[in-house]
Structure 1
C-alpha cells in the first residue's frame, strides 16, 4: 500500500510534463510561438501558474482553451514572458556604458541600438536619458523589441507606479546621471509618466528571439536577463543572432547573471568588462563596416 501511495506523486509529475509538452506543441502549431527550447524548470513554473490564473483545472484544460479561444493568446504570452525590470537596473552597467561605450559610439554619424526583450521599457528609457545627457540621442535610433504585445503596449505608454521612483532615482545617480530623474517624468496620483520626448527616437516592435531573424544593423545590442530562461542551444542561437546584427567592433550587453563562457559564439566576442557582461565583437566575426 505504501509503495503504491508513494508512486502516485511521481506519476502526477510525469503526467504534468506530458501535458506541458503538449501545451508547448499546441502553442507552436496553432500560433507559431515556439517555447520548446526555454529552460524546462522555468517554463514549467510559468505554465502551471498560468493554468492557475486562468482557472484551468489542468494544463490539458488550458491547452484546449488555447486551441479554441484565440483571444486567450495574448494573455498566455504575457503569462509565459517575464517582463520584470527597473530603470538603470545594475547602475554600474549603465555607468560603464556611459563612460566606455558611448565615447566609441560617438564616432559614428548615426547610432543604432537594439534593446531585445525590452519588457515594460524601463531600460529603454534609461538608455534614452543617458544618451540625451551624453549629447548622442539626436543621432541615435533605439529599436525596442519584445514578443509580448501587452508588454510593448505598456512600454510605449511609459507609465509606472510612483513607488518605484525613489529606487530608480538612486539607480540613476549611481549610473552617472547628471540631473535629477524627476526632470524626466511628471507625477500624478500613484503613477509617474516619463516625458514623451524620450520616445522620439524609439521604435517599439514585435520580434521573437526564438523564431525571427536579424532585426537591424546595430552598434550596441542589449539583451539583459532574457537568456537565463533559454536552453543552451537557444542561447547560442540568440547570441549568433546578435553577432550577425552587430557592426564590426559593436557592443553586446547581457544581464549580470548571464555569460558567454560556455557558448560557442564566445569566440566572436572580447570582454570589455567580463564581470558586467559587456562584450565587443571582434573584427573577424562580422563582415559589416
Structure 2
C-alpha cells in the first residue's frame, strides 16, 4: 500500500469538478479537510499515486467510481444510537404525531438503514406504524440496496438489544427479526412501512410535506453554506409545527433559519418548526 500519495487543494477541486460533471454528485460544499482525508485513503487502498491517475480512473471506469463513492461516504450507523434521543422521540414527539390521521416521516441520510429500522420499531410499539409513511433516503445507491434487504450482521444484535432497552423498548427485541445465516433479517412488517429512495440533499428539492424530518450526523460533513441550504430544504419540507431531529454534534445555532425553530429537546437536538 502506497503511503506517499496526497492531494493539493487545487487537485481536490479538479477531482470534485470531474465527479460533478461526469456523475452528477456535487461534493464541493462538503467539509474539504474531511473529504480530502477520505479521498487520499481511497487512493492508498488501490495504490493510486497522483491526482491525474485518480481522475483517469474516475472518468473511464464507472465500476471504480461506484467503489470510490462507497469508500469516501461516511456510513457509520447503528440501531438505537444515542438511546436518550429515542426516549425523547417517544415521549415528546410521538404523542403529538398521533393527532395526525396520516403521519409522514422523512429519514434523510439513512445510510444502510439501522436507524430507520429503530424508528419503525418504536412507532410500532406506540401503535402508530400503521398510519406512518416513512421515506428513507440516501445519496449512495449501494447503501439503499443494503437497507432494502433488511439484513443486519448478527454480531451487532446483542449490543443493539441492550440499546433498544435503554431507548425504552417494551417488547422482546428478538421479536423484530429472524436469524438468516450470519445476519438478522428485520421483519417484513417493519420493512413494508419504509420506502427507500435516492435523494441528493445538495441538488434535489422538496418532495413531500412531513410531520417529522430526521437527519442525524450528516450536517457535520457539510460547510456552513451547505448546512444553510439543507436546513432550508428541511424547513420547507415540514408541515406547520413539524419536528426536525439532528445529530448530537449538530446545531441550528449558526444557521440562518435558527429563529424558525424552537427546541423540544435541546440535549438530543429535537426541534419544532414555528408557525
Q: TM-score, normalised by structure 1?
A: 0.91
Gaps of 5+ in 1: 1-8, 284-289
Is 1:226–2:209 an aligned residue pair? no
Q: How many residues align?
A: 272
1:100 pairs with 86, 92, 109, which one? Answer: 92
2:22 alignment counterpart: 30
Q: Distance in 2 between matches of 1:142 and 1:33?
A: 25
1:256 alignment counterpart: 248
2:125 alignment counterpart: 133
1:145 alignment counterpart: 137
After TM superposition, which residue ranges in structure 1, 4 or more long, deviate above 4 angstroms? none
Q: Distance in 1 between matches of 2:202 and 2:252?
A: 18
Cα distance, 1:255 vs structure 2: 0.2
For 1:1-289, what aligned pairs fall within 5 Å after superposition? 16-283=8-275
RMSD: 1.4
Q: What do the CA deviations read for 1:112-161 (whole angstroms, capped 9, x no partner)? A: 00000000000110011001110000010000000101000011111121
Q: Distance in 2 between matches of 1:122 and 1:53?
A: 27
Q: Is the 8 A contact 1:47 1:59 kept in 2?
A: no
Cα distance, 1:203 vs structure 2: 0.5
Q: Distance in 2 between matches of 1:89 and 1:59?
A: 37
Gaps of 5+ in 2: none
Q: What do the CA deviations read for 1:47-92 (whole angstroms, capped 9, x no partner)? A: 1111122332223211111111123222222122111111011011
Cα distance, 1:211 vs structure 2: 1.0
Q: Distance in 2 between matches of 1:43 and 1:60?
A: 18
Structure with greater Cα Rg = 1
Q: Are the structure 2 counterparts of residues 69 and 192 from structure 1 closer, same or farther at C-alpha, using a change threshold of 3 Å?
A: same
Q: Distance in 2 between matches of 1:211 and 1:187?
A: 39
Q: Distance in 2 between matches of 1:161 and 1:20?
A: 35
Q: Distance in 2 between matches of 1:139 and 1:198?
A: 12
